[in-house]
Chain A
Amino acid sequence: MDEVLEVMSDIQFNHVQTAHCESGVISNIFRHYGLQISEPMAFGIGAGIFFGHLPFVKVNGVPGTTYRVVPGAIFKRVCKRLGVKMESQTFSSPEKGMEALDRVLETGRPVGLLSSVYYLPYFPPAYRFHFNAHNLVAFGKDGDNYRISDPIMETVTEIDPKSLAEARFAKGFPAPKGKMYYPVEVPKEVSFEQPIREGIKQACSDMLNIPLPFFGVKGMRFLAKRLKHYPEKVGDRKAVLYLGNIIRMQEEIGTGGAGFRFMYAAFLQEAAGILKREELSEMSAELTKIGDTWRNFAFNAGRVCKSRSVNNISYAELSEMLMQCAAEEEVLFRKLSKVKL
């Protein structure tokens, strides 16, 4: 009996480093149950690619930009499309949340946790902002400490219970409220074909059809227009901060605007093989080029930030580049939406 318990509390978890926390946790946890799914595939089926610019949602006084769908959405969609049943809970107090986590870990299941990066001691200090939508996996205990597979880290790590409780019960928006989730039913055999079709359809719709100016390719143009006038509207100092935030959201851990373009291109490439559709392969190559256009934008924006340029021409040029990204993505997603899958 003792032996069994020991094995249970020391489950083997095959950690693979990924680019993004949410799609990474999906890929790593599902693999644990024998369902092999790559990170790009999870990202694509979950229709993770997106764009949004919300000037009225300010983080530390800077308008928010996102290159992905709202946290949690990828997970929900992938589970629904692949027929995985998840148990998901939030808690009213850290004590209850930590006890519930212990109980699930005792049964030998790895558990996904929503947390704030600010309280994760193993995170590089430069990245420790109050970002509350980070995902990681707890897969066992070592004494009081928890064994952690954080998908964006190279290797597994450990965290003390106090820090983990703080991270899981951080305040702010969105408050994680100790959210934990784990699969209770994972099908052994899944076909990716239909889920891929549904994922692509949804991504095209999200990028093209939301009737609000803030989202999809419309959102890119919206940001481009505003960015052009940053220096005269908010002053040079703030303009640089706003611009810096656009780059950071594009490249920072767990986000990565251009990174998401490349990840979706990797998904299209994999999907081309599964659905035997050469067109998807070609679109993957096109999206790779679009990702490079984004990187070029970030590169130039970084130069403007560095020189803290007071010259409005550079903002106008950056705005043009963003318009270019929007135009290219619109063409791509319109084409993608017309492919008969």
Chain B
Amino acid sequence: MKKEEVPQDGDNMHEGTFKQLFYATDNAGQYVPVTSVGWEPENVAMKQAWEEINERVEKAKAQVLAGEVSPVVYYMEKTIMDLPLLASYVGKFQWQVKRHMKPAVFNKLSDTMLRKYAAAFKISVQELRNIK
């Protein structure tokens, strides 16, 4: 990649906060560091990854409001966690967390357990109980 070919496709993916560094060749073929504000294919892939996440969050939200699953599912999707990761944050087995995803089980959880979930999601117990 030549210096002039280092992509500069902004798209605001980096929100103007920083530029990424690349190594590219100058006219004499010598490698030099060059900064880039972004690249179209990467922007596309990144946007897609977030679209997927947002879709999952929306779906989870609808399911919680319909009483099909507990808020644990919604916040898990919202914080981009998966079952193994969430289980390790709250110090439970995966099957236990899965049970907590049932509204009936969730409603009977102890305050201690709720606080653990709230801490993992970085929200208050109040927010955990009532999703917005």
Q: Please list the residues of chain A having a beta carbon within 8 angstroms of any beta carbon in chain B.
A: 17-19, 40, 60-61, 118, 122, 124-127, 129-130, 152-154, 171-173, 175, 240-241, 243-245, 247-248, 250-253, 256, 258-259, 262-263, 265-266, 269-270, 284-285, 288, 291-292, 295, 298-299, 301-303, 305-306
Contact = CB atoms under 8 A, between A and B. Distances in A.
Q: On chain B, which size bracket covers the interface?
A: 35 or more
Given A172-B85, A269-B30, A248 B42 contact: yes
A303 to B, nearest CB: 8
B92 to A, nearest CB: 12
Which of B14, B20, B35 is packed against the most chain A CB atoms within 10 Å?
B20
B42 A240 contact: no
B105 interface: no
A124 B18 contact: yes
A72 to B, nearest CB: 20
A295 B9 CA distance: 14
B21 interface: yes
Given A124-B15, A285-B29, A291-B1, 19 more contacts: A18-B21, A19-B22, A124-B13, A124-B17, A124-B18, A172-B85, A172-B88, A244-B49, A247-B44, A250-B42, A252-B46, A262-B22, A262-B31, A263-B23, A265-B31, A288-B25, A299-B41, A301-B41, A302-B42
A78 B88 CA distance: 33
Contact of B46 (A248, A263, A266, A298): A248
A126 B42 contact: no
A253 B44 contact: no
B20 A253 contact: yes
A247 B22 contact: no
B41 A251 contact: yes
Nearest to B38: A251
Nearest to A292: B1
Interface in B2-45: 13-15, 17-25, 29-31, 33, 35, 39-42, 44-45
A19 B31 contact: no
A156 to B, nearest CB: 12
A182 B1 CA distance: 35
A122 B14 CA distance: 11
A301 B17 CA distance: 27
Contacts of B33: 17, 19
Nearest to B7: A295
A292 B17 CA distance: 27
Given A60-B82, A172-B88, A152 B41 contact: no
B13 A251 contact: no
A17 B15 contact: no
A244 B45 contact: yes
Contacts of B42: 247-248, 250-252, 298, 302
A209 to B, nearest CB: 27
Which of B33, B44, B45, B89 is packed against the most chain A CB atoms within 10 Å?
B45
A305 to B, nearest CB: 5
A181 to B, nearest CB: 23
B96 to A, nearest CB: 15
Nearest to B13: A126
Nearest to A264: B23
B48 A305 contact: yes
Nearest to B87: A171
Nearest to A281: B29
Contacts of A124: 13-15, 17-18
